[in-house]
Amino acid sequence: MAQSFDVVVIGAGPAGYVAAIRAAQLGFSVACIDNWKNAKGEYALGGTCLNVGCIPSKALLCSSENFERVTHRFATHGISVSGARMDVKKMQARKDAIVAQLTGGIQMLFRKNKVAWLKGRGHLSAAGERYRIEVAGASGKETVDAANVIIATGSTPRELPGVPVDNILICDNVGALAFREVPRRLGVVGAGVIGLELGSVWRRLGAKVTILEALPTFLAACDDAVSKEAWKLFTKEQGLAIRLGAKIGKVTPDKKGVKVEFADGEGERSIEFDKLVVSVGRVPNSAGVGAESVGLKIDEGGFIDVDAHCKTNLPNVYAIGDVVRGPMLAHKGMDEGVMVAEHIASQAGHVNLDVIPWVIYTAPEIAWVGKTEQQLKADGTAYRIGQVPYLANGRALGQDETTGFVKVLADAKTDRVLGVHIISSHASELIAEAVMAMEFRASSEDVARICHAHPSLSEVMHEAALAVDKRALHI
């Protein structure tokens, strides 16, 4: 007989595992189905984020940044180091250990919360009073039934026609996080978040990195002031070669590497690389969930169609995370997981898609929340700006981290904070204050009247809020 659950979650990435844990906390019987297998061929929880996304990329970013600090930045502190070398295998082993610790941690959380982990591919096969889900795993097929279903099947890398990813020579994020040695010449297609983060990792370790970006503008989603500053830092100071407006032509793998033909403003050309990373966005993973068997609505982009509370067109079936509209970010998926579990328990829950922070973990980091200046202009919203650099901040000077600025955008009439844009070290941590301010509908004056620790990088946020009203004290 089929096992029965109150809630079955398909997918154990950050959206799915959080939904499963929260539903279990609320007293439901819960199963979570996942088909992820790690490099050892073992089933693993955590999805893209923990296995081949957020967590391993941040581990490599930290290792490579430490290497760059030792080799280029320590001298100014009077620390001289000679013969610094990077052991890539050891760096990768550290990253793998972090991934194993965290994915194992979710197994532990599932046990603690009595979430049943069903290993295999799940799909909806019948709808009625309850839903039937088939699970195809290593030990054959099993069927479970559920009163409520949460689909959290995530996303996969978008492929380029004629560019076959083998994750050895031509890689998506999976291969690009696992190089065993530093490629001498690394090509990256797409100057988005993955291209910049992973391009930075391998550049810091010695690769000559060329990024080919289709759009004529750099970091189009960021505030223009941030994109301009980032362009200057990443290209001129750090040496990432970024070619905008690049139209990729033939990509030919051969024994020496991979030849990429492309055309840009300077005409047609080709470059030989030792390895190529393709990072041109991700697509929702909605095929294979059994949508056609139960009449689940999928939109034109392949996203499962949901309302503001992640309800699909089917009663008691929800979808969350990368497989639905909104930014493809782990924290957005986790928040949706909590919201949906609480809705199933007849509680209230809400995710405000207008106040989701974004972070790009380059050095300096880029973080933002809310509207950019160009969006406010396009919307016809009158605004005031407070923009303050880190240059004169005591903590930034002490830490040798004076690059960048905070830009606060506030409504000209009400003073409500509409957007905050940061490019600086630790921007990923600093943005939390802005998110809090915006969720509480704070004005720039509210932020300006809050006491900020001295000396700290957060004082630049304080000064930027003061600068909105032209009363910054230290610039």
The one segment of 29-37, 239-247, 367-375, 403-411 that binds ligand FAD by CB under 6 A: 29-37
Among the candidate windows 20-28, 50-58, 268-276, 368-376, which touches ligand FAD by CB under 6 A? Answer: 50-58
Residues 6 or more apart from 315 whose CB is under 8 A from it?
Answer: none
Does residue 356 bind ligand NAI (CB under 6 A)? no
Choice from 21, 191, 201, 289 touching ligand FAD (CB under 6 A): 289
> What is the C-alpha separation between 467 and 475, in angstroms, rounded?
9
Of 133 and 251, which has the nearer Cβ to ligand FAD?
133
Nearest approach, Cβ of residue 288 and ligand NAI (Å): 20
Contacts (Cβ under 8 Å, ≥6 apart) of 342: 22, 26, 348, 349
Distance of alpha carbon 29 from alpha carbon 21, whole angstroms: 10
Q: For residue 318, which amino acid is it? A: Y
Which residues inside 104-123 make contact with ligand FAD, applying CB under 6 A? Answer: 121-123
The Cα-based distances of 439 to 349, 370, 434, 450 in angstroms read 14, 10, 9, 16
Torsion of CA 399, 405, 411, 416, to 10 degrees: -10
Tell the smallest beta-carbon distance from residue 267 to ligand FAD (Å): 32
> Which residue, judged by CB position, is nearest to ligand NAI in the bound state?
192
* Cβ atoms < 10 Å from Cβ of 163: 17
The 10 Å Cβ neighbour count of residue 237 is 9
Q: How many CB atoms lie within 10 A of CB 130?
A: 18
152 binds, among ligand FAD, ligand NAI, none (CB under 5 to 8 A by kind): ligand FAD
Residue number, 192 or 257, with CB nearest to ligand NAI: 192
Residue from the set 189, 289, 420, 457 that interacts with ligand NAI by CB under 6 A = 189
Q: Give dist(CA 362, CA 378) in Å, integer.
A: 28
Both tokens of 33, joined, read: 């189905």
Q: Does 426 bind ligand NAI (CB under 6 A)?
A: no
User: Do 312 and 305 meet the contact criterion of CB atoms below 8 Å apart?
Assistant: yes
- Is residue 306 within the footprint of ligand NAI (CB under 6 A)? no
333 binds ligand FAD (CB under 6 A): yes
The catalytic residue among 77, 454, 462, 474 is 454
Q: Is 127 helix (H, G, I), strand (E, B) or coil?
A: coil
Q: What is the dihedral of CA 191, 196, 198, 202, to 10 degrees?
A: 100
Question: Binding segment for ligand NAI among 74-82, 112-120, 201-209, 273-281 (CB under 6 A)?
Answer: 273-281
Q: Does 214 bind ligand NAI (CB under 6 A)?
A: yes
* One residue of 81, 84, 138, 215 binding ligand NAI per CB under 6 A: 215
H/E segment holding residue 106: helix 88-113
How many angstroms separate the CA atoms of 249 and 449, rounded? 55
Helix, strand or coil for residue 52?
Answer: helix
Among residues 359, 367, 422, 438, the one that binds ligand NAI under rule CB under 6 A: 359
**Given candidates 11, 56, 187, 190, which one binds ligand NAI under the rule CB under 6 A?**
190
Stretch that binds ligand NAI, among 207-215, 286-294, 363-371, 402-410 (CB under 6 A): 207-215
How many positions of this chain bind ligand NAI (CB under 6 A)? 25
Is 309 a residue of the active site? no
- For the chain, give me the number of helices (H) and strands (E)? 14, 22
Question: Whose CA is closest to 437, among 455, 451, 406, 416?
Answer: 416
The pattern of x and - marking residues 134 through 173 that bind ligand FAD according to CB under 6 A reads ------------------xxxx-----------------x
Candidates 35-43, 348-356, 359-367, 465-473: pick the segment binding ligand NAI (CB under 6 A): 359-367
- Rounded to an integer, what is the distance from CA 102 to the centroid of its chain? 17
Chain residues binding ligand FAD by CB under 6 A are: 10-16, 33-36, 47-49, 53-54, 57, 121-123, 152-155, 173, 194, 285, 288-289, 321-322, 328-331, 333
Chain residues binding ligand NAI by CB under 6 A are: 160, 189-195, 197, 212-215, 246, 248, 279-282, 327-329, 359-361
